[in-house]
Amino acid sequence: MTNLLNHLSEGPASAPPLLLGPSLGTSYALWDAVAPELSAAHRVIRWDLPGHGGSPADLIGPGATVADLAELVLALADSLGVERFAYAGVSLGGAVGLHLAVHRPERVSSLAVVCSSAHFDGAKPWQERATRVREEGLARLAESADARWFTPGFTVPRLVRDHRDADPEAYAACCDALAAFDLRDRAGEISAPTLLIAGREDPATPPAHLRELADAVPGATLTEIPGASHLAPAERPEAVLTALRAHFDGDAGRGMAVRREVLGDAHVDRAQARQTPFTARFQDFISRYAWGEIWTDETLSRRERSMVTLTALVAHGHYEELAMHVRAARRNGLTADEIGAVLLQTAVYCGVPAANSAFATAQRVLAEEADGPAAG
């Protein structure tokens, strides 16, 4: 029997690690609709609480704390050779992230706290729930899971099943951890870039809890997701994914916006649709560095960058990319005459045959543009 948390790893082993933590009663299936997308640019490692999903129940016992759970997460990371990681967690999983960011800041590069809090409204309700679960098991409590986790009419049967099938003693020990958790007077020490995500309809950790954290954690940003209750990654995965990507992907997120402005949505959508696990890291590299760092640098205007780029593409004979960048140059404000003047200059410095092909390519693109809206 292993003494490690059960986990699922997705994405390239060489990508930056991102750990995903679950909420009480759920399993790593909570991230099913989000993790595969995040794994395009991250080594995603999602874990199960003790006695939940596939984790052994005896990893914790009565009187457990969030610190105990955080130690189990660090042991898992150590076992996978992961020293420093980005971390996102829901509710109890978010509390683990807050604890790590305060007590082990050297391990956490960036933090997202989803439908969670610096405290869970005192010890009493959790002590009562722990007692009840120790006495009667989880079947009856699981009957009310939908109402506690989702907006009316929504459900994820797998998660409700995981709740019912969790080990009652381990579940109760997790309730003990929630009862004792209060990080309010330490939240100001968090130095990792922090994103807070609230489900606007969440009755368990309402948006006010996340706002309280936003006021306490230096530089934290807060996103409220409409139409989401307590398990936002399951109920509104697209919204959670967008927020997490913007937070964790940083330059790549910013770069993607510039890439869309310069190359057009149609082109970027096609490139994204063609993306495979094999090309994902290259796409991410392009968004992060070419678009997120270089094209966003304001030392040169976008018009100037287009002129330099056209010249470089002619010099190396990259005529497919040249066609794309003639369209981009038009978006960046160059006239057809200016593009012609750039290509004429390349005849001097790159050679007449190269400029000859470049004029033919540009002529075709400009003619297409004259015939109708740019194809992107």
Ligand X SMILES: O=C(O)CCC(=O)CC(=O)O
Q: Which residues contact 60 (CB under 8 A, 6 or more apart)?
A: 50, 51, 68, 69, 72, 170, 173, 174, 177
- Is 151 a binding residue for ligand X by CB under 6 A? The answer is no
- Binder of ligand X out of 72, 204, 240, 339 (CB under 6 A): 204
- Is 25 a binding residue for ligand X by CB under 6 A? The answer is yes
- Is 70 a binding residue for ligand X by CB under 6 A? The answer is no
Shortest Å distance, C-beta 262 to ligand X = 42
- Is 177 a binding residue for ligand X by CB under 6 A? The answer is no
- Is 23 a binding residue for ligand X by CB under 6 A? The answer is yes
User: In whole angstroms, what is the distance from residue 362 CA to residue 342 CA?
Assistant: 11
Shortest Å distance, C-beta 15 to ligand X = 27
- Is 168 a binding residue for ligand X by CB under 6 A? The answer is no
Q: How many C-beta atoms lie closer than 10 Å to residue 253's C-beta?
A: 17
Q: Nearer to ligand X by C-beta: 40 or 234?
A: 234
- Binder of ligand X out of 6, 27, 39, 91 (CB under 6 A): 91
- Is 24 a binding residue for ligand X by CB under 6 A? The answer is yes
Q: Which stretch binds ligand X (CB under 6 A): 22-30, 193-201, 251-259, 279-287?
A: 22-30
User: In whole angstroms, what is the distance from residue 157 CA to residue 122 CA?
Assistant: 30
Q: Which residues contact 129 (CB under 8 A, 6 or more apart)?
A: 141, 172, 175
Query: How many residues lie near ligand X (CB under 6 A)?
Result: 10
- Is 72 a binding residue for ligand X by CB under 6 A? The answer is no
- Binder of ligand X out of 178, 307, 314, 326 (CB under 6 A): 178
Q: Which residues of 167-180 are buried (b: 16+ CB within 10 A; e: fewer)?
A: bbbbbbbbbbbbbb
Q: Which stretch binds ligand X (CB under 6 A): 19-27, 186-194, 233-241, 356-364?
A: 19-27
Q: Which stretch binds ligand X (CB under 6 A): 23-31, 299-307, 340-348, 354-362?
A: 23-31
- Mapped onto helix, strand or coil, the DSSP state of residue 194 is strand
Shortest Å distance, C-beta 150 to ligand X = 11
Residue of 244, 245, 256 lying closest to 288 (CA atoms): 256
Complete DSSP assignment for 311-374? HHHHHTT-HHHHHHHHHHHHHTT--HHHHHHHHHHHHHHT-HHHHHHHHHHHHHHHHHHHHSS-
* DSSP bridge pairs for 17: 43
* CB distance 190 to 94 below 8 Å: no
- Is 66 a binding residue for ligand X by CB under 6 A? The answer is no
The DSSP code for 48 is: P
- Is 110 a binding residue for ligand X by CB under 6 A? The answer is no
Q: Nearer to ligand X by C-beta: 121 or 369?
A: 121
Q: Which stretch binds ligand X (CB under 6 A): 6-14, 21-29, 184-192, 322-330?
A: 21-29
- Is 92 a binding residue for ligand X by CB under 6 A? The answer is yes
Q: Which residues contact 225 (CB under 8 A, 6 or more apart)?
A: 197, 198, 199, 200, 232, 236, 239, 240, 243
Residues interacting with ligand X, by CB under 6 A? 23-25, 91-92, 148, 178, 204-205, 230
